[in-house]
Amino acid sequence: MRNSLIIAQRELRERLENRSFIAMLFIGPLLILAFIYFLLQFGDQGKTNMKVLIVDPSGLLENKISSQESKALNYYFYDDYVEIAEFKDGKRFQEFDAMIELNEKVLINKKVFLFYREAPSIDLKMKLKFEVERRVEEVMIEQFTQLSVNAFRQIKQPLNIDFRSVYDPKNEADNSSSWVGFFFGLIILFFISLFGMTVLRGIAKDKSNRVVELMLASVKSRDMMLGKILGIGWAALLQLFVWTLLVGLGLVIFKSFFFKDIFDASSFEGIQMSEEVKNEILTNSSIAKYNAFIDLIYHRINFWVMIPHFVLLFVLSYLFYASFFSAIGATAGTESDGQQFVIPIFVVLMVSVYAGYMSVYWPDSQLAHLFLYLPFTSSMVNLINISNGFAIGSYVETLFSILILIVCAWLFLSIAGRLYKNGILAYGHTLRLRNLFQWLKKS
């Protein structure tokens, strides 16, 4: 084991001295953050302030809406009919960015059209909807009902049929939590693919530059393989840690300094809203989706449970899959020869993604249960289950699944060790399944 650790240290050091590894340590998260920034900054390219002409010949909104309500919106009233073509081309209307048509039919067909010259931003669209829609609604309530505005709004919500499991009537485990687990599982699969190939290429390179002969004269082949896997695994963990840290830090900075307005409901200060109305907006808009996301990330996922399981499953899955990559690297005659044999491993990794989908959408299916215990897919399914939370009794399943993964990782490392030992000194051949079986049989 001492020699495995020495080899692992060398592998880690080699990566840390590799400029491209160091560059990717920082460029990776920077790219992710740049992408997120791009989405937040440029995702909404619409117009951010407008002069709106309200064509209201019947005086429906008279005294119910004013230009001061929102800094971004300036309303102007016109008490006659205006045709679209006239608004579009008429000289006197050119100064207006949009026209809202409110004729007397509005109260019957409940449809208001807003004609714009340049599409408004999502934020502005929402403000327009809020201000105009609600004012028209108030007129309608007054005209057609005996109810107060608040009473009307309480009953106006459409009936919703929500599908829920009898085992989870409160829908505590809705699949938004599952997607978090799925995302964590994807990270594991991504890093396994990336660093699994690094293991394969590293071993193939050692083999081609003949350094293995020298190494094997002072260390057992299994220890050498383990050292390689461990060292590259440490590099993977380090990269994962730095990426998580930098992306997390970046998101906090985005939220605190750059995109305060987007995420903060108080930015609607220009609009006079009751708390109730604010809440309603916050549950019925794109902001609501963000808030659900915040709620999911900060409140519903127990990261004190999630992170240790993620690290444990990451390590075990990496060891499990790395054994395959190292066996192929050691037994292949050339690096390109080995890459052919990698395809089945990637197919298995794809199956893991499918297992994730299965577990998100049909968590109680037999296939999802099977995937929980298969070592190829168990990390993904376990993370989905853990992100949903679990009862004390159901954790036994997770433990059993992890135990199977530990046993299989150990078993496949032993098998890979045997293939490594018998294949590492074979050069220039074309790898065939026959070779693998022969080397497996040899002691």
Partner 1 sequence: MIEINQISKSFDRKVALDELSFQIPKGQIFGLLGPNGAGKTTLIRILNQIILPDNGTIRVEGKLLNESHWKNFGYLPEERGLYKSMKVIDMLVFLAKLRGMSNYDALKNTNYWLDKFDIKEWSNKYIASLSKGMSQKVQFIAAVVHEPEYLILDEPLSGFDPINVELILNELKFMKSEGKSIILSTHNMQSVEEICDDVVLLHKSKLIASDTVENLRSSVKNGLFSIRFSGNMIALANALWTDFELLETKELGNNRFQVLVRKRGERTFEDLINNLMGKLTLEAVEEKLPSMQEVFMSLITKEEVLHAE
Nearer to partner 1, 92 or 205 (CB): 205
CA gap 64, 130 in Å, rounded: 13
| Interface pick for partner 1 out of 18, 286, 302, 430 (rule CB under 8 A) | 18
Q: Which stretch binds partner 1 (CB under 8 A): 6-14, 262-270, 336-344, 402-410?
A: 6-14
Q: Does 20 bind partner 1 (CB under 8 A)?
A: no
Q: Which stretch binds partner 1 (CB under 8 A): 10-18, 163-171, 266-274, 365-373?
A: 10-18
Q: Does 80 bind partner 1 (CB under 8 A)?
A: no
CA gap 340, 204 in Å, rounded: 13
Nearer to partner 1, 13 or 110 (CB): 13
Min separation Cβ 217 and partner 1, Å: 4
Binding mask 417-436 for partner 1 (x = CB under 8 A): --------x-----------
> CB neighbours (10 Å) of residue 92?
10
**List of residues 6+ apart from 114 with CB closer than 8 A:** 52, 98, 99, 100, 101, 128, 132
| Interface pick for partner 1 out of 7, 8, 189, 386 (rule CB under 8 A) | 7
Binding mask 324-363 for partner 1 (x = CB under 8 A): ----------------------------------------
The footprint of partner 1 on residues 196-255 (CB under 8 A) is 206, 209-220
Min separation Cβ 315 and partner 1, Å: 25
What phi, psi does 311 have (nearest 5°)? -65, -45
Q: Does 17 bind partner 1 (CB under 8 A)?
A: yes
Binding mask 250-289 for partner 1 (x = CB under 8 A): ----------------------------------------
Find the angle CA(413)-CA(305)-CA(293) to the nearest 5 degrees.
115
Q: Does 3 bind partner 1 (CB under 8 A)?
A: yes
What phi, psi does 433 have (nearest 5°)? -60, -35
Binding site for partner 1 (CB under 8 A): 3, 6-7, 10, 13-14, 17-18, 206, 209-220, 425, 443
